[in-house]
Amino acid sequence: MMELDGWRFLGELLLLLGGAVALGAALEAIGVSAVIGYLLAGVILGPGMTGLVADVGPFEVVAELGVALLLFSIGLEMTPAKLRGFGLRGAVVGFLQIVITAIAAGLAAWLFDTGLRGSIVAGTMVAMSSTAVVVRLLVDRGEIDSPRGREALSILLAQDVAVVPILILVGILGSMGGADAPADAAEAASQAAGRIADAAVGLLVVVLALVVVGVFVLPRLLGTEVFRRNRDFAIVIAIITCMVAAWGSHMLHLSPALGAFVAGLILARVSFSRQIRADTGALRAVFLTLFFASVGLLAQVGELLEPRMIRLVATILGIGLSIKLLATFLAIRLTGGPRTVAIAAALCLAQFGEFSFVVGSEARMLGVIREDTFQGLVGASLLSLLATPLLVSRSRSIALRVDRLLVAARLWRPVVHVEDERAAGMRGHVIVIGYGPAGEEAARTVRLAGYEPYVLEMNSVSAGRAQAEGMMAEIGDGTNREILEHMHAADAAAFVVSVPDPEAAIATIHQIRTINRDAILVARGRYARRTAEMEAAGADHVINEESTVGTLLGATVVSRQTGVRDRGTDESWPKPRR
């Protein structure tokens, strides 16, 4: 009988996995995230609809393994170099976004009588965005290096890190409920403090054990000749380390995902971490697909279609999106980000992401949130993810329209420009739009040639760097006609558009050509597929980064090979590395 049950579970597992991949691929083909397909496959195959996968229980264990592998991979990515590149401001803006959103959404949930514990969990679920969906969309559109892309990435990275303390919090909240929960507030506080102390001790045990294994044992073990000859050993040992850490955390009454994250964090410091990240990717993809499909299995479609639940989903979606948009905007503005960038980044991060399902599933298993609240949050999350491609693609244009409308309504002040004495009556100058590494080099070259560069940059730090070098600089957006006219764009001899975001570059070129049709306009083409659009917008010359780099790479190889031939058998010439 046990054998029959095992084969039945395997059949359901394969059906769920195959259905998730098929539906995910179909949605990817029309520009919708595959994550939504995985979730919908679970909904369709689960007991809430067709019932082809009737028993949800075994899949909850699979889902927990998927979450553990996800947190393990995140821990592996948290290298010191990446954290340094994250920067202090990135950490601050991400922390602010999470805190403001969680508090505001938690208060809103509490007003709807979800209880204190349920309100805390609902707030953290709303605060999470989808790293997988947003980063994929920004990369596909070539906007990951745009100002809104950088702000969104900072917040997403902070959210990835915040998942661990949030899961610890959910575990503590779960241990505080139930029939044995104390009625007296002082006793409840004392028990909470005791459980926090137990969790801290358990976490310390896990960390110390993993430090000993990951820093002192594994490097020596994998450095032996036997393990060096067969790379499979390193991968298997890494997976065992992840799963043992998850199991140990569970035995210590901590979240299994927490132990897996700590294991990844420690292994990220060892020499073979990059190989582990590469080789565990396929296994992680399988378990994560099953995780999202397993969440879909929990959706009760019949219940969600009831008028009461439709109202609940609509309420969660409306209030949650509004709070999240405002909180993200405030977090970016409070840390010095431009207001149009803040609006655009907020639109990109408006959805409730995959970590919302991670937190919600954990809270549901521990009885922290009610079933109807969980169903409402899952329904709202699905709808918000469906809207994400549209919000990301239109984020910049919507941000510019909102900015213009609020300025026209006198709710926002227009950008105030301080006139540089050198700019009065300026003619024949070169306007450089974008002062990143490429724009900075272009401005210096123009200056060495005897022309006066006038820099336009949205980042105040970069604009200040240009001013420190003695150049005239403005803080603003190149698509804003008022700013360009203030910079005497009509009398400029040439323009350099070096912004990495193709959409922003094309819009900037269009705006320049409405003011000055005769000046030379040179633009940076980040991607070959967008150069034709930039030329059609009015650029005289587009420097295609991809083909230019390819030409230089080929030329370098040819020149080195020619040098080898000219030297014959000269042993002093460096040999190619094997």
Q: What is the largest CA-CA distance in the chain?
A: 91
Measured CA to CA, the distance from residue 431 to residue 298 in angstroms comes to 57
Sign of CA dihedral 477, 478, 484, 487: positive
Judge if 374 and 445 occupy the same domain: no
Contact criterion met (CB below 8 Å) for 498 and 439: yes
If phi over 0 gives left and psi between -120 and 50 gives alpha, with beta otherwise, what is residue 488?
left
Q: How many CB atoms lie within 10 A of CB 554?
A: 10
Residue 185 covered by a domain: no
Judge if 233 and 348 occupy the same domain: yes
User: What's the number of domains the chain is made of?
Assistant: 2
Residue 291 covered by a domain: yes
Residue 569 covered by a domain: no
Q: At what angle do helices 256-267 and 57-77 cross, to 10 degrees?
A: 30
With CA atoms as reference, report the closest residue to 259 among 75, 66, 132, 62: 75
Contact criterion met (CB below 8 Å) for 388 and 347: no
pLDDT tens digits for 17-45? 888 889 888 888 876 777 778 888 888 88
How far are the Cα atoms of 52, 131, 248, 286 from residue 72, in angstroms, in the given order? 31, 16, 14, 14
Judge if 454 and 527 occupy the same domain: yes
Judge if 300 and 449 occupy the same domain: no
Residue 433 covered by a domain: yes
Main-chain phi, psi angles of 526, to 5 degrees: -70, -35
CATH number at residue 216: 1.20.1530.20
Judge if 365 and 458 occupy the same domain: no
What 8-state DSSP symbol labels residue 182?
A: -
Judge if 436 and 474 occupy the same domain: yes
Residue 358 covered by a domain: yes
Here the tokens at position 153 are: 């990435």
Here the tokens at position 249 are: 């955390």
With CA atoms as reference, report the closest residue to 324 among 535, 540, 443, 159: 159
Judge if 378 and 499 occupy the same domain: no
Sign of CA dihedral 88, 93, 96, 102: negative
Judge if 391 and 431 occupy the same domain: no
Beta bridge partners of 335: none
Of 377, 397, 417, the last residue of a domain is 397
CATH number at residue 439: 3.40.50.720
- pLDDT at position 191, please? 62
| pTM of the predicted protein model | 0.69
Judge if 518 and 433 occupy the same domain: yes
Give me the half-sphere count of Cα atoms (radius 13 Å) on the Cβ side of residue 80: 3
Q: Spell out the per-residue pLDDT of the chain, length 578, in tens.
A: 444 466 777 788 888 888 888 988 888 887 677 777 888 888 888 877 887 887 777 777 777 777 777 778 777 776 666 666 556 777 889 899 999 999 999 999 998 878 888 899 999 999 988 876 787 778 777 777 777 888 888 888 788 778 778 877 887 787 766 434 444 555 656 666 666 676 667 767 777 877 777 667 776 776 666 666 666 676 777 778 888 888 887 777 676 777 787 788 777 766 666 667 666 667 777 777 877 787 777 777 777 778 888 898 899 999 999 999 999 999 998 887 888 889 999 999 998 877 787 788 778 878 888 888 888 888 888 788 878 888 888 888 888 888 888 877 877 776 555 555 566 667 889 999 989 888 999 999 998 988 889 999 887 778 888 888 888 888 888 888 878 888 889 889 999 999 888 888 998 999 999 999 989 999 998 888 888 889 999 999 999 888 888 888 888 888 777 765 665 555 444 444 44
Residue 468 covered by a domain: yes
Judge if 134 and 238 occupy the same domain: yes
- pLDDT at position 321, please? 92
The full length of the chain comes to 578
Residue 264 covered by a domain: yes
Judge if 374 and 446 occupy the same domain: no
- pLDDT at position 101, please? 93
Judge if 371 and 431 occupy the same domain: no
Q: What is the domain extent for residue 212?
A: 2-177+195-397
pLDDT tens digits for 322-338? 999 999 999 998 887 88
Residue 376 covered by a domain: yes
